[in-house]
Structure 1
């Protein structure tokens, strides 16, 4: 397995490849500086994406997962740049409309975030939902694509004061 670290506005990203196909992208510096054409091309495409010049990626990828996960990840690739959809919508796109929680779990196990744009899936109420790379990174990616993120709903505060008589 080859790996290389590239730098991005989100911090270092470590790319992993086998048989000249990307198998993972991990947030953080996990070492490795294999200099192969695939990593140079991935770095070029990611730089274009972060500078607003690229909307889709064309890199050979082979994410490891179940057939269901791979089906979900394939559907993620079809979500247009800057146009997030809900987990429920994603479930309908993979023909399991009532299994939006399972779709959400498959989305969260995406081993190649950004390139397979799992950040484009949000909660039905328009808030961010979750993201394996953290919500600040998800917000950054969505806003980079021109989407205006909704603030998370405020949690109700408990009333304090008063006394309980015993």
Structure 2
């Protein structure tokens, strides 16, 4: 899950950096172009990110109707809530509900999983990272170097979970 999330973000972050240089793009002056190429290749290593997403959803999550992942998410939600991060705990709870709903929808139409796998994987990744940043912030309450990125995660990344779950909930297999 995190391999796919991190390599996806690295590629898009590198691409954004290239845009800062305007017309320089893939010119060798800055070295950014090599980071973009490396990040793109990393998305393919150990199976493409899309294959990883399908494997997560079809072979792992749906194999038991989401019970295994939901058990883990319930533990992470409780841990996150105990640490006082209600937004992250609420997001983990929403992910559990979405997993249950998605399992029911996929039981009716197995092809749906292939349409939503990438967005679902990204939602799971954000949920796992929300828990991790909560733990980091709780372990170092007086350390600004850890508190600042934890706050940035809550403000800038955590909202992506709701967006991804919205996409998963709205997708259908037949697109007119």
**What is the TM-score normalised by the length of structure 1?**
0.24
Flag the structure with more relative contact order, 1 or 2, with Cα contacts below 8 A and sequence separation at least 6: 2
**What is the TM-score normalised by the length of structure 2?**
0.23
Higher strand share: 1
Higher helix share: 2
